Chain A
């Protein structure tokens, strides 16, 4: 896992590590920012990690 980088600038906090938070975090890194992804539970993934397949294509959700 990444180690904390003590920079004051160029960072964004994303609160909530479900699919929305994870996507926002990934996109922010691609846009040039360091991200703190804050999640209250012990793992990220949120409800999407509980799903097996997704509508309408029944693709794997992980």
Chain B
């Protein structure tokens, strides 16, 4: 967010509504109106004085109305833009023309009641719709006494209760009498999978957030008794099942039941529920959390009318499986929850994908509108050490445990420190301005920030340093949140002492830090795509659409992958073959890759037998789309399986149903879900098997309406709109019967006779049946990810899928720069999600190619040629092949770092027998002084006087 606020190429127009959108792809005209904030953004310093003086109260929407704020306020300190605003609905001046107390209070004279709505026309080449989602109506929630009893809260309200910036500063309290709730119930599927409120779809996110909220509540109060009432637990995403398991291990209870109602009961709530066996029970609770679903945004219809695209029957944007990010209006794309309920990683992936195809559409305009950010020249830092220390409260994250003022004053006594201060949120936009001002004012030439993890905000602070004319290496960050206030939450004194130690060490190191030069390396504007299935072909043609050359490698003898037979795939194969920018190699395999982002070189083999050959390809980026294949377990739920005509996998059944055989739809089928998945053989959920089973069941019913179909399942995971198909199947008489892992179904075959026995929880009895067919819903296994993982030095998960750089925010990037992943190699997923991911991967992969060069992190190894004895120990140890041997002028072998490949791990430096290698930003001198400072009881100033 702050990054968006800082970008010179993003103009943030808040308080702004779209009025109309006209024109055609490449040339749209958007009329917008910006409503007044009544505060000048350029003048407001976000000091907060106005809020203190404002006499009127209003409910705080940001906190879901759980507490009060003033009409003049900011939602939260890190808000972007960090400018206060006046809510015209409650401001006394704007409603009754009185008051205006805030005007003289504001020191920077930022308040301006004369502002009026401003209309503008934007000329744009493409549009991305990302209006998000709406709220489930209160009418739907009223069934559970929401609105009648204050302790029935929505999950978003509960989210705010858990949040340190929330109404009780992170303490969970009952809204009725402020007591800490001991027994908490979560009710799933509120406003989802509910035709009563016309939301037949599954909102796809609620199971996950309920588990998260339950876990966080349990962290707050380990004694809390938490129960989640659910129909199906839909944790189908990558590694999501594992999180649910962790929740169970922590003592959170999961009960499969329908909740009938929630009624006030003394100062408690009485929750009535019915379980599958038909029993009704009730249970008292202190608090009930409604896991509300995602509704279409309230202005969906208006947007659709204005822009001229279609909505689906649930008022979300209508898109096609094979063009999942395109609205029905050309040049207008959609991303995020407006494209159907989805979680954060999926939204982020869609956004990247939509950005990529928009970029492809108007590639001729690329670069014409952008502004290049310029930084002031780096100033000479001289010999005088002038350190500034900034200690962050992180709201209450640090400040409630560590004595921040004490740490800050402590730092002020240290040698070289010329300025010290504390800040509430040092990552906020206004704090960056303060940082810049202080650097100038006190002529600081080194900055130490004691706050959170450098992983999140170091780049931000370094950017601010650059803005202030300092080299970004003149920065040292101390993590007093994770390492002090979090881990020592119960020992505030010790946490404060430790913070002081860490700050003292950082200052000691900072005295020795030097500016490091930034280096850039040009890139080769070609992509290498591994895998010629839907994912790989989509990625390759998107790269080509964006104007980049692409090598496409397929290990089989033809393109197409798992979905060769789909019409879409056939069309895609034709497109790829015709595209002049794509060179496809079949029977091809990657043998070796060296180099780094922008400059990779790979050796591949292609062709068969006598025509086999080895080719070297140079390219700038790599997209992995190597896919997965069907898992064929030899045993399912403890039953050994011999695949035959009658015991088949769902994909085999699907194929049979596509055929013309008269008896292709058997009279009776038992489908077994999670065959070999979710801990049976594979650990994970393959995400697509429930959908496939339901689709096959419907297809069978269509051909043979009398066919008796029983689906044995653990959780039916027809998330999103697939829930409609599940409903349809149930209405058509397909029986869905859950099984438990401690009472698994048995499957046996004697000749042609099949026998399946299972426990029916509704009849409370064991059932035995002799179906004509058993269809196993088997999962997917990734293909050869282990080999590729070693070749490209990218990590895989315990389940052998590629592990992305950040599961939420960087879902298609791998930790090695310039390497991206999409499709089934990332995790099992349906076709529309594969395509989105491929589009996202190609957008991300295009970024370094668009830029034309890569910037090398200055923290790299430095080899002093004088001291190097050419022993080659470092070259043999470097895990990134980033050190090469060269000859010096006397023809002696010397080691040399390939800076663009170096990941700054420091292995070379720590092993060099002659100490010839130092790491930029981590020299021996810097580290030694840091360690020495740790042992020093007395402050530097005392030492000086001594």
Contact = CB atoms under 8 A, between A and B. Distances in A.
A13 B14 contact: no
Interface string B672-703: 00000000000000000000000000000000
B355 A28 contact: yes
Contacts of B28: 13
Nearest to B12: A37
A12 B126 contact: yes
A31 to B, nearest CB: 4
A32 to B, nearest CB: 4
Nearest to A56: B243
Interface in B325-362: 335-338, 343-344, 347-348, 350-352, 354-356, 358-359, 362
Interface string B358-392: 11001001111111000000000000000000000
B108 to A, nearest CB: 16
Given A2-B7, A26-B3, A58-B215, A45 B79 contact: yes
Contact of A21 (B128, B209, B212, B846): B128
B76 A49 contact: yes
A29 B18 contact: no
A26 B337 CA distance: 18
B81 interface: yes
Given A15-B129, A54-B344, A56-B242, A36 B122 contact: yes
A5 B14 contact: no
B125 interface: yes
A8 B14 contact: no
Given A16-B129, A58-B215, A31 B75 contact: no
A44 to B, nearest CB: 5
A3 B122 CA distance: 14
A51 B354 CA distance: 24
Given A20-B350, A37-B11, A59-B808, A7 B368 contact: yes
A46 to B, nearest CB: 5
Nearest to A46: B132
Given A42-B37, A60-B456, A26 B130 contact: no
A42 B15 contact: yes
Contact of B850 (A21, A23, A32, A51): A32
Contacts of B362: 10, 12, 33
Contacts of B452: 60
A58 B690 CA distance: 28
Contacts of B588: none
Interface string B156-180: 1001101111100000000000000
B741 interface: no
Nearest to B808: A54
B30 A13 contact: yes
A27 B844 contact: yes
Contact of B11 (A9, A31, A35, A60): A35
B355 A34 contact: no
Contact of B211 (A39, A41, A55): A55
A56 to B, nearest CB: 3
A22 B365 contact: no
Nearest to A31: B359
Contact of B12 (A18, A23, A44): A44
A15 B286 CA distance: 41
A41 B15 CA distance: 5
Contacts of B739: none
Nearest to A25: B10
Contact of B132 (A35, A42, A47, A55): A47
B10 A29 contact: yes
Contacts of A3: 11
A12 B369 CA distance: 9
Given A11-B369, A20-B351, A30-B850, A1 B12 contact: yes
18 contacts: A1-B12, A10-B368, A11-B125, A11-B365, A15-B129, A20-B348, A21-B128, A22-B4, A23-B352, A24-B130, A30-B850, A32-B359, A32-B366, A33-B125, A36-B124, A37-B13, A54-B212, A55-B208
Interface of B: 1, 3-5, 7-18, 28, 30, 32, 37, 41, 62, 64, 74-76, 78-81, 83, 85, 122-133, 156, 159-160, 162-166, 208-209, 211-212, 215-216, 239-240, 242-243, 303, 335-338, 343-344, 347-348, 350-352, 354-356, 358-359, 362, 365-371, 427, 452, 456, 546, 807-809, 843-844, 846-847, 850-851
Question: Which 10 pairs across A and B sit closest by C-beta, in order of nearness?
Answer: A20-B336, A10-B369, A34-B369, A56-B243, A10-B368, A27-B355, A23-B351, A24-B351, A16-B130, A21-B130
